Amino acid sequence: MSNYVIVTDSSSDLSEELLGRYDIKSIPLAVTVEGQEPVPNNKVNTKEFYALLRSKKGAKTSAVAIETFKDFFKPYLSEGKDVLYLGFSSGLSGTYNAGFIAAKELSEEYPERTVATVDTLCASLGQGLLVYLATKKRDEGATLEEVRLWVEENKLNLVHLFTVDDLFFLKRGGRVSAVTAVAGSALGIKPIMHVDNDGHLVKIGIKRGRRASLDELCSRMQELALDPAKQTVFISHGDCEDDAKYLADRVRDTMGVKDIVIDYVGPVIGAHSGPGTMALFFLGKER
């Protein structure tokens, strides 16, 4: 039994089943759907959430407060355990910075304990995959500091490849112009995006047609992946499971990948990317 806990936040999109199986603690971000009260991310029915988005309801998220982090960490510290927090990209949210400040304050309050943090510069199941790999190191006997260093050294090899089916949500978030959204939708243009080394979501290409955009994710993985057949690959989707299965089959057939985890893009990320989002995550030579 390790003497530390690994904590992340709900932007990692790790399911309750995976959190429990790998003993990962997760702090929920709040999600607010238009006309409703804020709800912790882990209390949102994901399919109902995407149905609301399809009806063009607006949704927004809010970062976790410093005091919420402190209240979450304190019970573990009081039990004599150390804490390693692996947080949502600071390039996309203020959540990590709140966790960092909370850890610094608690380190002074509990000088005999370690409260360490890593800005993963990751999001969605990219963050989830990095956290999952960290738990593997922990379960192999690595110390908190060894795991922290491994995450710091490998986080920029965690490749995030995204595409979306509806440019409306990127337009609403200010990531594409209204003209681009209207023209792109009319022509069936699908952006190919990734999370860069600063943790920002940026466009790296375009494809015409949904199937072509999914094939492009697979092609880019072929170019970037490190020994893909031996990797665990994560795929997340914005309520489009059939497309996720298609992409998983392409990844298996082209690269011999055996271990693939498929799950939803959760409400924190889905509020900004919308239904039909597809994302592929793996370790690569570079982002």
Residues 140-198 have pLDDT tens digits of 999 999 999 999 999 999 999 999 987 776 656 555 555 455 555 656 889 899 999 99
Q: Are residues 253 and 180 in the same domain?
A: yes
Domain span at residue 259 reads 157-283
Number of domains present in the structure of the chain: 2
Alpha-carbon distance values, 1 to 18, 76, 86, 141 (Å): 19, 14, 20, 9
C-alpha–C-alpha distance, residues 31 and 20, integer Å:
22
pTM value > 0.75: yes
- Chain Cα centroid distance, residue 136: 18
Same domain (yes/no): 148, 162: no
Same domain flag for 174 and 120 = no
The percent of residues above 90 in pLDDT, for the chain, comes to 82
* 31: pLDDT strictly greater than 80: yes
141 with 89, same domain: the answer is yes
Residues 6+ apart with CB under 8 A from 189: 167, 183, 206, 207, 208
Q: 58-100: per-residue pLDDT in tens?
A: 898 988 999 999 999 999 999 999 999 999 999 999 999 999 9
Do 15 and 121 belong to one domain?
yes
> Nearest Cα to 125, choosing from 273, 10, 204, 287?
10
* C-alpha span between 4 and 27 (Å, rounded): 16
Same domain, 142 and 194: no
Among 154, 171, 186, residue at a domain's last position:
154
Regarding whether 139 and 15 lie in a shared domain, the answer is: yes
Check: CB of residue 281 under 8 Å from CB of residue 158. yes
Q: Which of 122, 154, 186 is the last residue of a domain?
A: 154
- CATH code of residue 95: 3.40.50.10170
> 183-219 burial string, b = 16+ CB within 10 Å, else e?
ebeeeebbbbbbbbeebebeeeebbeebeebbbbbbb
The separation between the first and the last C-alpha atoms of the chain, rounded to the nearest angstrom, is 34
pLDDT of amino acid 67: 98
Dist CA 224 CA 241 (whole Å)? 24
24 with 52, same domain: the answer is: yes
Q: How far apart are CA 101 and CA 41, in angstroms?
A: 22
Helix (H, G, I), strand (E, B) or coil at 204: strand
Measured distance CA(164)–CA(50) in Å, rounded: 14
- 277, 147: one domain: no
